[in-house]
Chains A and B, each alone.
Chain A
Amino acid sequence: DQQVKQNSPSLSVQEGRISILNCDYTNSMFDYFLWYKKYPAEGPTFLISISSIKDKNEDGRFTVFLNKSAKHLSLHIVPSQPGDSAVYFCAASALRNAGNMLTFGGGTRLMVKP
């Protein structure tokens, strides 16, 4: 069973516009959520995170929103730039889990067109 789902495999956005990437989860034990970005031939790099006690976290052009009642989070990128083109993974963690293991979604490929 997929505990973290990213239902959109791909998203295409014009440069300068907003990119919204969505993620749903089913496990109510998750209390920390992260977004990672992955370029080809590189490992995932951390982008932004949010604790379950918050509903929004902002870092420059990136904002993550968490709706716990809906078990939904989203990543907003404003404005989008061509360099943002990559695969984005949503990940979740339950601090009680040994090892702080991350459960990842399947990824969304973002393409930002110049």
Chain B
Amino acid sequence: ETGVTQSPTHLIKTRGQQVTLRCSSQSGHNTVSWYQQALGQGPQFIFQYYREEENGRGNFPPRFSGLQFPNYSSELNVNALELDDSALYLCASSLFSSSYNEQFFGPGTRLTVL
């Protein structure tokens, strides 16, 4: 069973640039969630994708967008980067259900915005 993988591991960008982060979900999972973890804080929910559509969104501006592909992998895109976007971005996969299902996290992508 393959776990959740994310790429790249680290990334450095400058203010105003755009970035794309990638996530491959765990085998058998059809739902991907993205979280932002700022230094010293807990992860914050950005959004979730199921059946290639956004299925819930946290308190993040529209410049945070995403995609889910037919193989359930996902991308997180951030436009017009700001210094406060520097954080660890975590992807989590799960199997969609009406009851709660455990989310499995990847190791994250560390984004630094200069």
Contacts and interface: CB of A to CB of B under 8 A. Distances in A.
Interface of A: 4, 6, 32, 34, 36, 41-46, 49, 51, 89, 91, 93, 95, 97-107
B42 interface: yes
Contact of B105 (A43, A100, A107): A43
Contacts of B98: 95
Contact of B100 (A32, A45, A105): A32
Given A89-B43, A93-B100, A106-B41, A100 B94 contact: yes
Interface residues of B, number: 30
Interface of B: 4, 31, 33, 35, 40-45, 47-48, 50, 55-56, 58, 90, 92, 94, 98-108
A46 B4 CA distance: 13
A44 B94 contact: no
B45 A102 contact: yes
A99 B42 contact: no
A46 B104 CA distance: 7
Contacts of A102: 33, 35, 43, 45, 103
Nearest to B90: A43
A105 B100 CA distance: 19
A107 B108 CA distance: 17
Contact of A98 (B35, B44, B56): B56
Contact of A45 (B40, B47, B48, B105): B105
Contact of B40 (A4, A41, A43, A106): A106
A101 B33 contact: yes
Given A42-B107, A106-B42, A49 B4 contact: no
A44 B33 contact: no
A60 to B, nearest CB: 17
A45 B4 CA distance: 11
A89 B42 contact: yes
Given A101-B48, A102-B43, A105-B42, A46 B56 contact: no
